[in-house]
Structure 1
């Protein structure tokens, strides 16, 4: 009998069904335009783009242009790629344009879907970013889809790590730019550390389409992107602490795997104190509870986490003498990513690799706050519905399930739960052997490299040929995934079942053609393709007969989405297939989240060795456990965001101020306002309001004016004058300080003074912001303890970070004013002495004396061209060999800029 809810859905449809139904008339409109666009020649398609661009830039609403734009894009894709978009793909494109997440099953063609909203939104000329999870996919998709954009008359760019600056700027200036989330975030931070508008890479954030949106905006949202610089080397301390961690007994600490945390017991504290004293790290008479021991306690805690919570070949691998992290969600290596707070160094000490120095944060941002910069955001994935609440609450994104082009024919079997891991793996090997024997391709999902290699050993013993895909084989990923659909293929994958590469039944034709051409370069490509396509059709028919792709998961993941991603590899485009999950009570999820009751129940039922419990109720209870974990992780991310929002408000102010300074032709007004505010503060400090003249601190104000403003004025005499008040003194100080700065501007020259003020402002802001980030990190690490005093840690963090930010702004005003007051042009003697010193360094470096004419020219202060006087020793990459180029001469480095705008720029 149907439930009331199910019955209502049958009659009225779900809210999602109604949403999809609402755009069907729009799809019909696009389809009606198809003959008109098919009749255009290639130039006609580009001409329609030019017409649409003109209308968009004249203010036409993009929604009104949508039918024509989508029809034009569909025709361009058909000609460029031989692919005609299905109606379901157009529906996906419409919802992406409207700023939603389109949930589309694997094999439904998300890569092509993105071209429709990207093309429409690129018409305004403000740029569109298509975000992928790795560099391989960014390059592949950009290369593939650039054919479509090229046919439409648009430009395509791709951003990748270590890209030359001019290439990167060109990529961001393109109509459509493909990039990874990491590179976009880092470029945003780098741009906000630049000192000149001409150096900026990114344009204002207009519209982004995020591929695998759940991976980027959910899984990676807890980890902030950090640009850092090295601090002091503490490798000896890490090694000394690591030496005694393996000796710690189980009663020395308490481990909480749910929260991934570790705390010491009293016995542990005593043991650590003894060992630290023996190693000479803890002074006699000092305990771990003393404030002076905070750093030591931190190091010991991190070392213990490294040993007890981080496992080799699961959380990280050691490659070429380096500890490389593994993404827990995709199983890929994260080269260049490091754990913060000394944890990475603790793991390096544990593994005996070289210990890199800790870093100090220069700039940071979370993906949550980076992607909220975009005026409009959308995303695509095969699995988003389980996290719909989080997408809506954090990003304001709705999730729309897009129907499949063909009905799903995959059979999802109930989970099989075994008592022990040994029984489970025996059943898995048997199941794989049975499927392999009948030619059915099998994709086996595991949760770690260690488990994938252990299963590989079992399959070798059973004589089953197979491929293993994990972080160790990531270079072969596309090839292994392309082969995973072949007749009888067995592929073991670690949390990364073919991301971005479809598993096609019978194998991937394109890959087979490329392989055949590589083996026989003289073969005729068309004949080769025809033969391979015929063979493929035959093999695909056999695979279909064997039941399509069988997805076998060896464990449930903490997140239902990861399980659904694995399931979704089977049954693409209406293909048959099946999926099954094999579990045991020893699995991490079952063990951590309450398998004791289930174990007792199974014991009472008298289950025999090798038997499994299979029932829909088990599936439901497991999904509830997963939903609890997802809820807890959502709370963690939400809490992180609340704290980061506090910093984000401050980040926006600082980055906005930097941008204003860079855009301003003259910052004299900003520095003048800062100087006047400093004078205001000095007068208020030494001549407090509503006080008598005999309470004023004349000598203190004189000293402060000399130190902060660089002016030597008779403040002590002013204070004693009859009828003088604080207002008069303030005006006199202001006039004297302004006159000093006017004289400096004359001495330096107006243009030089503008450059000095701008560079000084930017450098001081950056230094102050770096110090502020460090203070916020320290505050964040201790503010949680305020909860013990019944105070809300978040409110405490907000209040104290605001006070710190006020201190930053006050310090910024003082430092800029003081530095500007102290600068002066070099005298002729000082300049000559500096040039002589440069020459001496050059001679020492080259091991020979500089030519006499060059030395004379420099001593005379001549603006000699380097290729005339310094020709014998001139090296364009060595500024010490350039002599004294004139400020308006071309820079000797060969950049083509004037010297004053290049290496001669005043810092």
Structure 2
């Protein structure tokens, strides 16, 4: 018997079905316009863009323009790329325009889908940002889809790290801008450290389309973007503390893998006190619980985390003497990203590489709060449904599952669970060998570099040729992924999430044509293409006959989404395929969620070596465990966001105030108000309301007025006059300060005075905001202890941060007033020199704001030994982002690497 819910769905359809159904009339309209737009000339398509733009600026709604705009893009894509968008792609575009997440399976053409809403929303002239996970994809997509926008008479820009300011400004001023989430966030922070409005890149946040939206808005949301400057060097402290950790035994600490937490036990604390005293890190009579020991205890805890929770080749790799983090979800390196609060330095000490100094935060923002700045936000991915609750709660984004263009023909087999990891890997190799021999391409998915290299060794021993894709080989990423669908190909990949490149059966025909042209530049391109396409069709048929792509995963990830992304690599566009997960009781997820009981049960049942459990119940219980982990991770991200929201309100006030100051021509009124408020505060302190004249501290007031406002006012004499009250003294002080500032303005010249006021205001705001951020960081790290006193840490943080913000604003007024009162008239040369120094200081701060050195800034060096300009064999094997061996100081990809 059917339940009420199931019955209602059969009658009314699911909410998702209803959303799909609602787009059908629009799609019919777009299809009805196809013949009309096909008759337009190339110039006719551009004229249509101008007509639509005028109508949009004239007040016609974008929803009303949608059918014509989408029909225009479809026709432009046919002409520029030879691709005609399917109805399902139009549907995905409609949902993006409406501010939703379009969940579209791998191979459904999401890159083309983004052009439809991007074009429609760019008609307003406010710009559209298409955001992706790495610079390779941003560049590729901008070049590829830029042809469509050019056909429509629109401009396209692309942004990457280390780009020249003029290029970056032009890219932001384009109709459609392709970039990465990191670069957008850093540019936003850098914009709010600029000295003038004409240097600001991001003028407004109109509409963003986020590709791989789950990766960017969920996986990366736990790590805030931070722009920082160097603090004092304490590398000796890290090295000394690092020597203590190997001395610990298992009784000295407790580790919780579920929460990735590690803490010292009572025995551990006693042992630590004794050991730290021996190493001179703790005074003889000092305890770990003394306030003076806070810093040492903090660093010891970070060293313990570095040793016990962070594994080399899984969480990070050591490359060219540097610790480079690995994104746990995509398996990509994250150069330029560093762990905060001394944890990165602790890992550097553990690996005995050069310890870089800790940084002090100049500006920071979380991706959650950055992307919530946009007037409209949308996203695309192959896997969003499992996180629909988080998207709705944090970003107010709905998730719509867009149907595939062709039915899915992939077979998802039940998981196979083995007792040991060795049995599991042997079973995988055996199955991969069978598939390889019959020509079926195989993709082996792993969760760490270590495991991918272990599988690689096993395949080598069996003589099976294969490719490995992980953080060490990411430069060849596109090529390896493109070849993964070829006949008999075997590919090992670490975390295939967000790769952005299709695995096409038979290989990628476009790349094959480009390779053939590179090998034979004299050949006729049309003939070469025809020959390659014929070969490709033959190979593709053989792969189809062999069963399509076989995805084998070596374990389940803690997030179902990552598993679904790996599965989704097979069965694109209705292709056949199969997927299977191989698990063992030694896997992290199985071990954490109670595999001991299962192991005892299997032993008692007499399970033989090499045998596996295969049952749908196993799949369901694993998915329940994954859902628990996802829920806990969501709670952690929500908690991070709650604390950041407190800072975000203050960040918005400061950044908006900065913009207003940069945009203002005359700030004299603001500056006068600040000075008058300082006078009010001084009077309240030294001549409190409702007090008698003999209770006033006139001497103190006179001293403070001289110190803060550079006015030598005879306050004591005024107060001694008959019938003078505090209000009259206030009026005299205000008049004296106004007169002094008017004289300064006359001596400087009005324009110079306005310039000085603006620079002093901006510099003081920046300085105070940096100090405030540091204070908030310290508050955030200790406020959790208030929970022991039955007080809510979040409320405590809100209250105290608000008080700190008010204190900061008070001190801001005082410092600005004090600095301006001390400015003395100078000669023309001295004024110019001062303004130059201010600009230089601002430029230095901007320099600190660059997360990593750019190619253009890299100093020239000596070339590598044996380097010969004309012989690539002497160049070694540098990665794309390493310095070029020629000694230019540039990255290899921007120098000799661009020629290879």
What TM-score do the two structures reach when normalised by structure 1? 0.91
Spell out, residue by residue over 1:829-857, the C-alpha distance to the aligned partner (whole angstroms, 9 max, x if none): 999999xxxxxxxxxxxxxxxxxxxxxxx
Asked if the contact 2:49–2:152 (Cα under 8 Å) also holds between the matched residues in 1, the reply is yes
Asked if the contact 1:332–1:496 (Cα under 8 Å) also holds between the matched residues in 2, the reply is no
Q: Could you list the runs of 5+ residues in structure 1 that have no partner in the other structure? A: 835-907
Asked if the contact 1:361–1:774 (Cα under 8 Å) also holds between the matched residues in 2, the reply is yes
Spell out, residue by residue over 1:372-411, the C-alpha distance to the aligned partner (whole angstroms, 9 max, x if none): 0000000000000000000000000000000000000000
* SS of structure 1 residue aligned to 2:218: helix
Change (3 A) 1:827 1:72: closer
Structure 2 Cα separation of the partners of residues 751 and 439 of structure 1: 77
Spell out, residue by residue over 1:862-888, the C-alpha distance to the aligned partner (whole angstroms, 9 max, x if none): xxxxxxxxxxxxxxxxxxxxxxxxxxx
Aligned counterpart, 2:72: 72
Asked if the contact 1:481–1:498 (Cα under 8 Å) also holds between the matched residues in 2, the reply is no
Aligned counterpart, 2:818: 818
Aligned counterpart, 1:520: 520
Aligned counterpart, 1:177: 177
Aligned counterpart, 1:303: 303
Aligned counterpart, 1:876: none
Spell out, residue by residue over 1:24-54, the C-alpha distance to the aligned partner (whole angstroms, 9 max, x if none): 0100000001111001000001001000000
Asked if the contact 2:424–2:582 (Cα under 8 Å) also holds between the matched residues in 1, the reply is yes
* SS of structure 2 residue aligned to 1:556: coil
Asked if the contact 1:470–1:496 (Cα under 8 Å) also holds between the matched residues in 2, the reply is no
Structure 2 Cα separation of the partners of residues 302 and 317 of structure 1: 18
Aligned counterpart, 1:414: 414
Number of equivalent positions: 835
Change (3 A) 1:608 1:828: closer
The reply on whether 1:60 has 2:60 as its aligned counterpart is yes
Change (3 A) 1:833 1:350: closer
Spell out, residue by residue over 1:732-763, the C-alpha distance to the aligned partner (whole angstroms, 9 max, x if none): 10000111111111111111110000000000
Deviation at 1:3, TM superposition (A): 6.1
Deviation at 1:606, TM superposition (A): 2.4
Deviation at 1:602, TM superposition (A): 2.3
Structure 2 Cα separation of the partners of residues 828 and 401 of structure 1: 67
Kindly report which structure 2 residues correspond to 1:624-663, keeping only aligned pairs within 5 A, or say none.
Answer: 624-663=624-663
Kindly report which structure 2 residues correspond to 1:427-466, keeping only aligned pairs within 5 A, or say none.
Answer: 427-466=427-466
Aligned counterpart, 1:744: 744
* SS of structure 2 residue aligned to 1:503: coil
* SS of structure 2 residue aligned to 1:221: helix
Aligned counterpart, 1:15: 15
Spell out, residue by residue over 1:769-813, the C-alpha distance to the aligned partner (whole angstroms, 9 max, x if none): 000000000000000000000000000000000000000000000
Aligned counterpart, 1:714: 714
Asked if the contact 2:682–2:704 (Cα under 8 Å) also holds between the matched residues in 1, the reply is yes
Asked if the contact 2:329–2:497 (Cα under 8 Å) also holds between the matched residues in 1, the reply is no
Aligned counterpart, 2:358: 358
Deviation at 1:523, TM superposition (A): 2.4
* SS of structure 1 residue aligned to 2:282: coil
Aligned counterpart, 1:682: 682
Asked if the contact 2:229–2:360 (Cα under 8 Å) also holds between the matched residues in 1, the reply is yes
Structure 2 Cα separation of the partners of residues 673 and 157 of structure 1: 43
Kindly report which structure 2 residues correspond to 1:70-469, keeping only aligned pairs within 5 A, or say none.
Answer: 70-469=70-469
Deviation at 1:282, TM superposition (A): 1.2
Structure 1 Cα separation of the partners of residues 5 and 719 of structure 2: 84
Spell out, residue by residue over 1:71-107, the C-alpha distance to the aligned partner (whole angstroms, 9 max, x if none): 0110001000000000000000000000000000000
Deviation at 1:9, TM superposition (A): 3.1
* SS of structure 1 residue aligned to 2:161: coil
Aligned counterpart, 2:858: none
Structure 1 Cα separation of the partners of residues 660 and 179 of structure 2: 27
* SS of structure 2 residue aligned to 1:363: strand
* SS of structure 2 residue aligned to 1:220: helix
The reply on whether 1:772 has 2:772 as its aligned counterpart is yes
Structure 1 Cα separation of the partners of residues 414 and 2 of structure 2: 21
Structure 1 Cα separation of the partners of residues 69 and 765 of structure 2: 45
Aligned counterpart, 1:792: 792
Change (3 A) 1:181 1:830: closer
Structure 1 Cα separation of the partners of residues 203 and 757 of structure 2: 26
Asked if the contact 2:277–2:283 (Cα under 8 Å) also holds between the matched residues in 1, the reply is yes
* SS of structure 2 residue aligned to 1:178: strand
* SS of structure 2 residue aligned to 1:439: coil
Change (3 A) 1:573 1:3: farther
* SS of structure 1 residue aligned to 2:19: helix
Deviation at 1:828, TM superposition (A): 9.7
Change (3 A) 1:463 1:757: same
Structure 1 Cα separation of the partners of residues 56 and 831 of structure 2: 57
The reply on whether 1:44 has 2:44 as its aligned counterpart is yes
Spell out, residue by residue over 1:633-653, the C-alpha distance to the aligned partner (whole angstroms, 9 max, x if none): 000011111100000000000
Please say which of residues 261-270 and 155-164 is displaced more in the overlay: 261-270
Spell out, residue by residue over 1:2-22, the C-alpha distance to the aligned partner (whole angstroms, 9 max, x if none): 666445434432110111011
Change (3 A) 1:556 1:830: closer
* SS of structure 1 residue aligned to 2:222: coil
Structure 2 Cα separation of the partners of residues 497 and 54 of structure 1: 41
Change (3 A) 1:361 1:497: closer
Deviation at 1:598, TM superposition (A): 2.2
Asked if the contact 1:497–1:569 (Cα under 8 Å) also holds between the matched residues in 2, the reply is no
Structure 1 Cα separation of the partners of residues 624 and 229 of structure 2: 44
Aligned counterpart, 1:480: 480
Aligned counterpart, 1:671: 671
Asked if the contact 2:73–2:115 (Cα under 8 Å) also holds between the matched residues in 1, the reply is yes
* SS of structure 2 residue aligned to 1:157: strand
Structure 1 Cα separation of the partners of residues 143 and 828 of structure 2: 58
Please say which of residues 817-826 and 564-573 is displaced more in the overlay: 817-826
* SS of structure 2 residue aligned to 1:64: helix
Change (3 A) 1:823 1:405: same
* SS of structure 2 residue aligned to 1:711: coil
* SS of structure 2 residue aligned to 1:550: strand
Aligned counterpart, 1:852: none
* SS of structure 2 residue aligned to 1:344: helix
Structure 1 Cα separation of the partners of residues 200 and 443 of structure 2: 45
Aligned counterpart, 1:804: 804
Change (3 A) 1:244 1:19: same
Deviation at 1:688, TM superposition (A): 0.6
Deviation at 1:277, TM superposition (A): 1.5
Spell out, residue by residue over 1:710-744, the C-alpha distance to the aligned partner (whole angstroms, 9 max, x if none): 10011011112221111001101000011111111
Using CA pairs under 8 Å that are at least 6 residues apart, name the structure with larger relative contact order, 1 or 2.
Answer: 2
Spell out, residue by residue over 1:564-603, the C-alpha distance to the aligned partner (whole angstroms, 9 max, x if none): 0000000000000000000011101111122223223323
Deviation at 1:525, TM superposition (A): 1.8
Deviation at 1:497, TM superposition (A): 5.8
Change (3 A) 1:342 1:286: same
Aligned counterpart, 1:726: 726
Deviation at 1:529, TM superposition (A): 1.5
Structure 2 Cα separation of the partners of residues 48 and 456 of structure 1: 55
Deviation at 1:260, TM superposition (A): 1.6
Structure 2 Cα separation of the partners of residues 565 and 705 of structure 1: 67
Deviation at 1:516, TM superposition (A): 1.8
Deviation at 1:518, TM superposition (A): 2.1
Aligned counterpart, 2:842: none
The reply on whether 1:33 has 2:33 as its aligned counterpart is yes
Asked if the contact 1:477–1:498 (Cα under 8 Å) also holds between the matched residues in 2, the reply is no
Asked if the contact 2:776–2:801 (Cα under 8 Å) also holds between the matched residues in 1, the reply is yes
Structure 2 Cα separation of the partners of residues 757 and 763 of structure 1: 10
Aligned counterpart, 1:582: 582
Asked if the contact 1:478–1:498 (Cα under 8 Å) also holds between the matched residues in 2, the reply is no
Structure 2 Cα separation of the partners of residues 827 and 524 of structure 1: 71
Aligned counterpart, 1:895: none
The reply on whether 1:595 has 2:595 as its aligned counterpart is yes
Structure 2 Cα separation of the partners of residues 833 and 37 of structure 1: 61
Structure 2 Cα separation of the partners of residues 345 and 768 of structure 1: 27
RMSD: 1.6
Structure 2 Cα separation of the partners of residues 790 and 437 of structure 1: 65
